[in-house]
Amino acid sequence: MPVVTNQGLVGRIDAVIADAARVQLITDPASSINVYLQNADTSAVLFGSVTGDISLDMISQNETVESGDLILTSGLGGGFPADLIIGQVVTVRSLEFELFQQATVQPAVDFSRLPIVLVITNFRPVDITPLEPVSTPSP
């Protein structure tokens, strides 16, 4: 279940025991989230790191990504609803011999101050049925 503040996405609940829950932050090295860049209208994957930074990868070289572009959850994969704010692009790295661009991200959430968080318990995942191949019966 997604965990948010009024600033944006914090992470997801990855374990529950008795009357407590453990949250995997978006900065966790094991965290990966399907996102899109609102201003560039392109998809990417957000990754955490051991340093606590977050970055984007899998950005097509054909897309124009700029500092300040807003990053939102895409809703793909079903783990998060679409359009939760994650942060903004700070820097972009694009090398012509690589398949994808990468970007560093400034999170919208101040992780040093989380007095209140909200858990989203009910949302409708993005329907990817039209994207799945349809099998045709054989005669």
Q: Write down the pLDDT at residue 104.
A: 94
Q: Contact at 8 Å (CB) between 35 and 22?
A: no
**What is the rounded CA–CA span in Å between residue 100 and residue 63?**
10
How much is the pLDDT for 126?
Answer: 59
- Residue 41: its pLDDT value, please? 79
The phi, psi pair for 53, rounded to 5°, reads -85, 160
Spans of the chain, pLDDT less than 50: none
- CA nearest neighbour of 74 among 9, 5, 3: 9
The pLDDT of residue 9: 92
* pLDDT score recorded for residue 33: 93
Residue 60's contacts (CB-CB under 8 Å, 6 or more residues apart) are 42, 100, 101
In CATH, 2-119 is 2.40.10.350? yes
Give the domain ranges of the chain. Answer: 2-119
Tell me the HSE value of 131 on the side-chain side, using a 13 A CA sphere. 5
Rg, Å, the chain Cα set:
17
Q: How far apart are CA 108 and CA 124, in angstroms?
A: 24
pLDDT at position 94, please?
Answer: 87
Residue 102 confidence (pLDDT): 93
Q: For the whole model, what pTM was predicted?
A: 0.80
Contact call for residues 102 and 54 (beta carbons, < 8 A) = no
